């Protein structure tokens, strides 16, 4: 096989100047130019706001113009559909970049690559039906295989072992299973084991799988046909992996098996930030066999266009790995007329048993510092490391506040994930509204609505016609083409939710259900049984007796958006998990204290005060907290705020000492008393 260097076109200074003019890029420094011109295998460690996605698109635009091969392409892999869509969209706006959106090139997620080239071919050649790949759908099918009493037998047994039926995963080609990496806690003779085996086997034979189970079939294909890897290497002489720090063990092992970086036959360029390696799945572990970045061959881009030196100085100590040689460098933000480059960072200290007033104080501080025109175009967020329901932890509990809902009881975790996996149809619709609001693009919201309807159809009847349909909305349009009345109802539903912004409430949800079920019946072949999806179509209500924290705002601005009003002005604050805002840029971000084994702000206090820097000597859990804090503190362009319970700072003498230290580091500090912020320095 030939050396890869002749297969990858040379990129000259003239090419870089051309793409700068084409994309309107700022002056590119030496590290950025080095990445653009690189033709060999290397890693790029790029800090938050360094423009790495822009650099990837710029490099692809140049390569597209110069690519000489008709049957060999560039493979671009990302970790999320959001990242993949951004690369595809931005390439599509550049005329030469559009060439990369078709054969022989491939731009998709790692899961998409694994499915298309490895897992699906193996399943097809081994007699499995066209698969449905979705964690929730697969779990629902497995549950439906069992009698109701049998399901609860397994579920209650697993709950006693601190697990759940939904964690069942196929882990080998013989359909043996575990609990997401943990051994099933019963032997092969146990009733619970055999019921779980029955559910797994029946679902597999019907073609229902979870996302990560596809790696099992991918490995099987490589075992049976090792020449498949050689074929992929010939097809893709250049592989670019975005957000490499998010690669976990199974993904890293498979990528290395197909594209071993030690080979000179092709080029693998990995881009990411080791200080942003946080995972949505609590059980996910980073790839330790081929760690990123490679200490022998990597470029560092330590300067950020997102924020200025003030935010960089505050965030830099929280980086697990030191950034560059002089720490994180802020060379931004982009100038906004009438807006200062930064706003004094603020810490809001709230009473130990009440978060009332935290979001309002934060919002009013922003309103006092920024104009309405600025706030209309840039996001304001409040995020926490823990965001699942914690209604079992009430004010006064030692873990309070444990989670984001403790700051606003209307918060819903299922629709706040970077890629939402709702539990109910109403949450699918709420997620669709949130996606359109955040991305200002109708298409992903329409797809979310369509997928929710097809999931409902799969629960109540035969919706096999939608398996492996790439564009779900288009598939629904085609399926309803013969029934003008139902098709019109579907179009009206999409319009009401995403154009008219109809709010979803308990009352109007009840009136919508008959129309929705009529659509679903039209999407199914044969008889339907709505009772099978009773929980999925029900309103996702919350027992008011279990809610804690401040009452919900009477002026909701949409899913997981808290509205603050001050006189005739108002501000919308988007709430979410830290993981959900990775890759985003905000005007302002507040980091909310949450509890995971310990209170996050309590464990991070030494870094906040400057007595600790980076991860030297930090324990495993604190390393994770550092990563989360660093990600959150590097989102905003102008303002970073923290919400911290009073007890974190100790007695009054310790608090006074800490206030002096924090003031010297640039922080303003306010204590919230009776819901009102009182400034202390």
Q: Are 201 and 187 in contact (CB under 8 A)?
A: no
Which pLDDT tens digit goes with each residue over 555-599?
Answer: 456 678 999 999 999 999 999 999 989 889 999 999 999 999 999
Q: Tell me the average pLDDT across 353-369.
A: 95
Q: Which band of pLDDT confidence, cut at 50, 70 and 90, is reported for residue 4?
A: low
**Residue ranges in 316-441 assigned as alpha helix (H):** 358-369, 372-375, 425-439
Region of residue 217 (left: phi > 0; alpha: psi -120 to 50; beta: else): alpha
In the numeric block, which tokens belong to residue 292? 């990123």
Report how far residue 379's alpha carbon sits from residue 388's, in angstroms, rounded to the nearest whole number.
22
Q: Are 467 and 132 in contact (CB under 8 A)?
A: yes
In the numeric block, which tokens belong to residue 529? 């049984």
Between 417 and 208, where is the model more confident? 208
Report how far residue 553's alpha carbon sits from residue 436's, in angstroms, rounded to the nearest whole number.
22
Using a 10 angstrom Cβ sphere, with 0-12 exposed, 13-18 middle and 19 or more buried, the burial of residue 291 is middle
Inter-axis angle of helices 191-206 and 135-145, nearest 10: 120
Q: Tell me the average pLDDT across 527-546.
A: 69
DSSP summary character for residue 322: P
Beta strands in 254-406 (DSSP E): 267-272, 298-301, 303-304, 329-330, 346-350, 380-384
Mean pLDDT of the chain, nearest integer = 88
In the numeric block, which tokens belong to residue 37? 């011109």
Distances (CA, A) of 205 to 210, 408, 582: 14, 44, 37
- Comparing CA positions, the residue from 640, 623, 641, 634 lying closest to residue 277 is 623
- Comparing CA positions, the residue from 344, 351, 383, 369 lying closest to residue 662 is 344
| pLDDT at residue 340 tops 80 | no
Q: Are 398 and 382 in contact (CB under 8 A)?
A: no
Beta pairing class for 595-596 and 586-592: unpaired
Q: Is the peptide bond before 55 cis (omega within 30 degrees of 0)?
A: no
Report how far residue 21's alpha carbon sits from residue 23's, in angstroms, rounded to the nearest whole number.
6
Three-class SS of residue 11? Answer: coil
Domains of the chain: 5-115+225-304 (3.40.50.300), 135-209 (no CATH), 309-326+340-416+546-679 (3.40.50), 425-539 (no CATH)
Region of residue 51 (left: phi > 0; alpha: psi -120 to 50; beta: else): left
Which pLDDT tens digit goes with each residue over 106-144?
Answer: 999 999 999 999 999 999 999 998 888 888 788 988 988
3-state secondary structure string, 280-305? CCCCCCECCCCCCCCCCCEEEECEEC
Which pLDDT tens digit goes with each residue over 269-310?
Answer: 999 999 998 865 545 555 667 788 988 888 999 999 999 999
Chain centroid to Cα 410, Å, comes to: 21
DSSP summary character for residue 134: -
Between 615 and 543, where is the model more confident? 615
Q: Are 601 and 648 in contact (CB under 8 A)?
A: yes
Q: Are 657 and 610 in contact (CB under 8 A)?
A: no
- Comparing CA positions, the residue from 162, 160, 171 lying closest to residue 197 is 171
DSSP summary character for residue 606: H
* Phi, psi for 545 (deg, rounded to 5): -70, -15
Report how far residue 242's alpha carbon sits from residue 56's, in angstroms, rounded to the nearest whole number.
8
536 C-beta neighbours (distance < 10 Å), count: 22
Q: pTM above the 0.75 mark?
A: yes
Beta bridge partners of 11: none
Report how far residue 1's alpha carbon sits from residue 611's, in angstroms, rounded to the nearest whole number.
54
DSSP summary character for residue 41: -
Which pLDDT tens digit goes with each residue over 619-659?
Answer: 899 999 999 999 999 999 999 999 999 999 999 999 999 99
- Comparing CA positions, the residue from 550, 556, 587 lying closest to residue 570 is 556
* Phi, psi for 382 (deg, rounded to 5): -135, 125
- Comparing CA positions, the residue from 453, 452, 454, 435 lying closest to residue 444 is 435
In the numeric block, which tokens belong to residue 286? 């980073």
In the numeric block, which tokens belong to residue 614? 């980076």
Report how far residue 352's alpha carbon sits from residue 595's, in angstroms, rounded to the nearest whole number.
13
Report the Cα–Cα distance between both ends of the chain, in Å, rounded: 67
3-state secondary structure string, 205-228? HHCEECHHHHHHHHHHHHHHCCHH
Which pLDDT tens digit goes with each residue over 219-275?
Answer: 999 999 999 999 999 999 999 999 999 888 889 999 999 999 988 889 999 999 999
């Amino acid at each position: 096989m030939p050396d890869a260097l002749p297969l990858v076109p040379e990129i000259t200074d003239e090419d870089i100047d051309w793409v700068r003019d084409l994309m309107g890029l700022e002056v590119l420094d030496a590290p950025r130019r080095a990445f653009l011109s690189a033709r060999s295998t290397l890693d790029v460690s790029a800090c938050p706001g360094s423009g790495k996605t822009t650099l990837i698109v710029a490099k692809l635009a140049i390569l597209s113009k110069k690519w000489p091969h008709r049957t060999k392409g560039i493979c671009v892999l990302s970790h999320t559909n959001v990242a993949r869509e951004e690369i595809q969209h931005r390439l599509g706006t550049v005329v030469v970049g559009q060439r990369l959106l078709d054969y022989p090139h491939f731009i998709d997620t790692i899961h998409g690559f694994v499915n298309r080239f490895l897992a699906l071919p193996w399943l097809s050649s081994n007699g499995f039906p066209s698969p449905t790949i979705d964690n929730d759908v697969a779990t629902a099918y497995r549950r439906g295989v069992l009698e109701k009493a049998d399901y609860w037998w397994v579920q209650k047994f697993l709950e006693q072992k601190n697990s759940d039926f939904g964690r069942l995963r196929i882990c080998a080609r013989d359909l043996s299973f575990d609990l997401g990496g943990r051994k099933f806690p019963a032997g092969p003779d146990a009733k619970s084991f055999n019921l779980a085996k029955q559910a797994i086997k029946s679902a597999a034979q019907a073609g229902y799988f979870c996302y990560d189970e596809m790696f099992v079939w991918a490995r099987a294909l490589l075992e049976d046909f090792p020449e498949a890897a050689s074929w992929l290497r010939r097809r893709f002489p250049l592989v670019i992996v975005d957000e490499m720090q998010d690669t976990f063990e199974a993904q890293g092992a498979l990528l290395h098996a197909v594209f071993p970086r030690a080979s000179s036959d092709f080029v693998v360029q990995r881009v990411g930030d080791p200080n942003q390696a946080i995972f949505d799945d609590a059980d996910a572990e980073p790839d330790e066999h081929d760690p990123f970045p490679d200490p022998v061959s990597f470029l560092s881009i330590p300067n950020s266009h997102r924020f200025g030196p003030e935010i960089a100085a505050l965030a830099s100590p929280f980086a697990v790995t030191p950034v560059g040689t002089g720490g994180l460098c802020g060379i931004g933000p982009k100038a906004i007329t009438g807006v200062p480059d930064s706003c004094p960072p603020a810490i809001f200290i709230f009473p130990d048993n009440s978060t009332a007033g935290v979001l309002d104080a934060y919002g009013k501080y922003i309103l006092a510092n920024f104009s309405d025109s600025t706030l209309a175009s840039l996001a304001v967020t409040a995020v926490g490391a823990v965001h699942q329901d914690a209604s079992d932890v009430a004010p006064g509990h030692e873990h309070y506040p444990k989670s984001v809902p403790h700051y606003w009881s209307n918060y819903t975790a299922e629709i706040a994930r970077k890629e939402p996996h709702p539990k109910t149809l109403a949450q699918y619709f709420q997620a669709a509204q949130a996606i359109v609001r955040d991305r200002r693009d109708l298409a992903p919201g329409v797809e979310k609505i369509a997928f929710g309807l097809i999931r409902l159809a799969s629960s109540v009847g035969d919706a096999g016609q939608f398996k492996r349909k790439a564009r779900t909305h288009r598939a629904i349009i085609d399926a309803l083409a013969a029934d003008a009345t139902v098709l019109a109802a579907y179009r009206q539903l999409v319009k009401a939710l995403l154009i008219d912004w109809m709010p979803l409430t308990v009352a109007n949800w009840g009136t919508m259900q008959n129309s929705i079920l009529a659509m679903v019946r039209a999407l199914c072949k044969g008889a339907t049984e709505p009772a099978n999806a009773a929980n999925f179509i029900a309103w996702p209500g919350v027992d008011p007796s279990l809610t804690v924290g401040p009452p919900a705002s009477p002026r909701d601005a949409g899913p997981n958006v808290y509205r603050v009003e001050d006189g005739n002005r108002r501000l919308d604050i988007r709430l979410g998990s830290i993981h959900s805002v990775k890759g985003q840029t905000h005007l302002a971000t507040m980091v909310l204290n949450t509890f995971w084994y310990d209170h996050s702000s309590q464990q991070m206090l030494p870094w906040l005060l400057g007595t600790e820097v980076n991860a030297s000597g930090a324990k495993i859990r604190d390393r994770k907290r550092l990563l989360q804090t660093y990600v959150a503190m590097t989102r905003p362009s102008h303002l970073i705020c923290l919400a911290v319970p009073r007890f974190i700072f100790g007695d009054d003498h310790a608090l006074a000492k800490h206030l002096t230290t924090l003031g010297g580091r640039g922080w303003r500090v306010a204590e919230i008393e009776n819901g009102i912020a009182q400034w202390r320095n």
